[in-house]
Chains A and B, each alone.
Chain A
């Protein structure tokens, strides 16, 4: 999905690094990953799957294996998006996703304190 289709002002920036950002849309109940020249939409489950796929990549093996290109195809079954990333980009995407999920945890704690546990 192109950025032009989305009203960027309606999106909440969850986490950003130099190489990309992840946004949340409260209106559409979904996330947008702005990374590697793509602006891709994900739901909760697919974002979690993406994180798992990226975390499972063995970067050491990728760099040390001389019979293989230093690129990795990042996708999973049912995913509409495919990333072709080098080792540095994989590290960056991992950092972006881990930061995002940490923000989700923080947001959960704040939501509990502000809305759910108010006496």
Chain B
């Protein structure tokens, strides 16, 4: 008997489902970052607004990368419905706390998919996911560093203005 399902698709249905869930999570992150950008802009934090707008674009790019992979492997990529995006934040610091929390959730989610791939011996998808795992190192680093600025600079006086100026300068280097 021909292995028709395997002929049609390289990835299993379970992996396809997980990747589609990840597509949705990336779309959610992208929208959340855009919402953060909007809040920052409205409250006069121009550099942070730019920082979050760039992050939103990056998350969108991650979403499309996953989307293409599912399709390329013969799967059914699902354009996600995104709802329930937080639009109001209690303060400048909360925006960055939420950003770090979102990145931690994304990292955890990738680890879960990787574990499932390992279980299924889906080395092709594991290799594909390596790029995302590496990317998460940078994403979490940047989000953590941004939050640390609140401790280093402090919010008093012109503190928030200084923090806003420094957010855009955070870069990650492996070396």
**Chain A interface residues toward B at CB < 8 A:** 12, 14, 24, 26, 29, 31, 44-45, 48, 101, 104, 107-108, 111
The contact sample of 5 A-B pairs, CB cut-off 8 A, is A14-B1, A24-B1, A29-B7, A44-B5, A101-B13
Tell me the smallest distance from the CB of A41 to a CB of chain B, in Å.
13
Complex Cα gap A66–B165 (Å): 61
Name the residue on A nearest B13 (C-beta). A48
Q: Which of A12, A14, A26, A48 contacts B76 (CB 8 A)?
A: A48
Residues from chain A with a CB closer than 8 A to the CB of B6 are 108, 111
**Chain B interface residues toward A at CB < 8 A:** 1-9, 13, 76
Most buried by A among B3, B7, B9, B13: B3
Tell me the smallest distance from the CB of A23 to a CB of chain B, in Å.
10
* 7 additional A-B residue pairs with CB within 8 Å, beyond A44-B5, A44-B9, A104-B4: A12-B1, A24-B1, A24-B2, A29-B2, A45-B76, A101-B13, A111-B3
Interface of B is mostly: helix
Name the residue on A nearest B16 (C-beta). A48
Name the residue on A nearest B76 (C-beta). A45
From known contacts A45-B76, A48-B76, A101-B13, infer whether A29 and B3 are also in contact, taking CB-CB under 8 Å: no
Residues from chain A with a CB closer than 8 A to the CB of B7 are 29
Q: Which of B1, B8, B9 contacts A26 (CB 8 A)?
A: B1
From known contacts A48-B13, A48-B76, A101-B13, infer whether A26 and B2 are also in contact, taking CB-CB under 8 Å: yes
Complex Cα gap A50–B144 (Å): 45
**Top 10 closest pairs, chain A to chain B, by CB:** A44-B8, A111-B3, A26-B2, A104-B5, A12-B1, A108-B6, A108-B3, A107-B1, A107-B3, A44-B4
